[in-house]
Amino acid sequence: MRRHRTAVAAAAVAALALMAAPATAGTGEASRNTGGDERLLNTWAADTWRSFDALVVEETGLPDDNIGGDLSPGSRGGYTSPTNIGAYLWSTVVARDLGLIGADEARARMATTLDTVARLEKHEPSGMFYNWYDPATGAKLTTFPGSGDAVKPFLSSVDNGWLATGLLLASRAEPSLADEADAVRERMDFGCYYDPAQNQIRGGFWDTDPQEPAPVPGDYCGMGADVWYTGHHYGAFNTEPRIASYLGIAGEQIPAKHYFGTYRTFPDTCDWDWTETRPAGEWAEHLGVPVFEGALPYRGMRVVPSWGGSMFEALMVPLFVPEETWGPRSWGRNHPLYVRGQIEHGMREAGYGYWGFSPSNNPAGGYREYGVDQLGLDGAGYTSDQERTAVDQPYAGCRDGSPAPTEYGDGVVTPHASFLALRYAPGEAIANLQRISRDFDAYGPGGFYDAVAVRSGQVSQRYLALDQGMIMAALGNELADDAVRRYVSEGALEQKVRPLMKMEEFAVGRR
């Protein structure tokens, strides 16, 4: 059966190379692509889908976390996560909508996945799933494949947010599977992560004592017994955990005021001078919550930063939620500026000749966070090169900085970051991807490899389910009239979250 599916996908690639997809009416600038671009994007989608066909274990319908560049089953990582499962569900729908697989195959694939997910061990009181499972059996992992290191089973708020997103999309996109998808998703209570004392969500919890000093015992949702929460909250606003916040608010598991409980930037006092630099902004109040509506300066702009300065923190969520439409004075202004900042860094400040910085496989081995330091709220931030060249900006009136770097090292770009920017800078995103494909051995049978170090030319020739899933979602919106967004955002999420976004005006813009 897998051989047949691969042949169908190959035929689809050949067909797509001969004809353009219908013109889209998608939201924003992405609809300005030419017919030639659409043929190219369709080809990229077909190749990226091939990586998912190779990642998934046919018997369980669970995708592996990663696979080697030759797509051989023996090169799979041997573990998967709730995020990976969500990514496979929405990618299957995109593949169907783009004609890469038929409706019957898509339905069968998702049915297998949903049947397995319903049987996975989970934390029953909260309905949440553990971070790591064996994709071949569905067993919860207690030791990590390869290293044999012990795993303390953890239940992540953001990872469960992406699984719930995939379940919601599957339910809306394939009504015949709605009962199965909703039965799992509706048991997931995001209120179990919400700390009312801080008006923020925790990173997650362990359901057994991890025997570490940081975790905090508690029970936020009436589970009947304490769990051990992470010592940290997700306090930064412009980061990917906001998908869990949105779902919790939409499901009335988390109060609406939580939308204003996280930091656009930290307040402009010396108490916060460990952060990147002094912000500009003013205090406001929304739903009784005081909010410092701050932004950070960067190369002639003011931008609401992410935590570390990476692309996926800022732009993975709007693959599913039309933030710039619902919040035209907030997200609608910030998202294009954030993309512009990434382009400015790669093309002008660092002079790499390429851009797009986000957590990815490290071409030198392992996995690493990459970003634009000055677009991050954290003082240390993520860096864009292998040498970890950081910018120590001053915090006016509180601490001095250091001279700006005069050069950068071996910058690492990841193709998924360009796909995330496709809506906001379509011409530049496509041109950047074409340069990466032309100048490096960066494209294989499953589409773009995960990351490229642009000075050394070293390439991480692996495919990651999360990163491939972001690419599929971006292309599903671009080539199928924002279908990915429509499946997720219509209904309760729009009714509950859109009014919150309309309330606020970010202190962003060009200076």
Q: What one-character-per-residue DSSP string does 366-384 give?
A: SEE-B--GGGBSSSS--BS
Taking the complete model, does pTM exceed 0.85, yes or no? Answer: yes
Cβ burial, residue 50 (10 Å; 0-12/13-18/19+): buried
- Position 10 pLDDT exceeds 50: no
Sequence-distant (6+) residues with CB within 8 A of 61 are 88, 109, 110, 111, 112, 113, 114, 115, 116
What average pLDDT is seen over the chain?
A: 93
**How many residues make up the chain in this entry?**
511
pLDDT digits (tens, 9 = 90+) for 241-297: 999 999 999 999 999 999 999 999 999 999 999 999 999 999 999 999 999 999 999
* Integer CA distances (angstroms), 451 to 253, 386, 415, 447, in order: 38, 12, 7, 12
pLDDT digits (tens, 9 = 90+) for 397-441: 999 999 999 999 999 999 999 999 999 999 999 999 999 999 999
- Tell me the pairing of strands 509-510 and 462-464: unpaired
- Position 4 pLDDT exceeds 50: no
pLDDT at position 411 is 98
pLDDT at position 35 is 53
**Structure-block tokens of residue 434:** 């074409």
- Position 301 pLDDT exceeds 60: yes
Closest CA to 389 of 373, 400, 378, 376: 373
- Asked whether 454 and 353 are in contact (CB, 8 A), the reply is yes
- Position 8 pLDDT exceeds 50: no
pLDDT at position 20 is 31
- Position 33 pLDDT exceeds 90: no
pLDDT digits (tens, 9 = 90+) for 194-241: 999 999 999 999 999 999 999 999 999 999 999 999 999 999 999 999
Q: Which residues of 65-103 are buried (b: 16+ CB within 10 A; e: fewer)?
A: bbbbbebeeeebbebbbbbbbbbbbbbbbbbbbbbbbee
DSSP state letter for 272: G
CB-facing half-sphere around the CA of 130: CA atoms within 13 A: 24
pLDDT digits (tens, 9 = 90+) for 436-477: 999 999 999 999 999 999 999 999 999 999 999 999 999 999
Q: How far apart are CA 256 and CA 233, in angstroms?
A: 17
Q: What percent of the chain stands above pLDDT 90?
A: 92
Residue 495 in 3-state DSSP? helix
Q: In degrees to the nearest 10, what's the CA dihedral of 22, 26, 29, 35?
A: 0
The residue type found at 205 is: F
**Structure-block tokens of residue 148:** 């044999």
Average pLDDT over residues 157-167: 98
> Nearest 5°: CA angle at 38, between 32 and 39?
155
pLDDT at position 104 is 98
pLDDT at position 434 is 98
CATH 1.50.10.140 for domain 306-497: yes
**DSSP bridge pairs for 294:** 281
Residue 226 in 3-state DSSP? coil
What are the boundaries of each domain within the chain? 306-497
pLDDT band at 36 (very low <50, low <70, confident <90, very high): confident
Q: How far is CA 413 from the centre of its chain?
A: 16
- Asked whether 363 and 373 are in contact (CB, 8 A), the reply is no
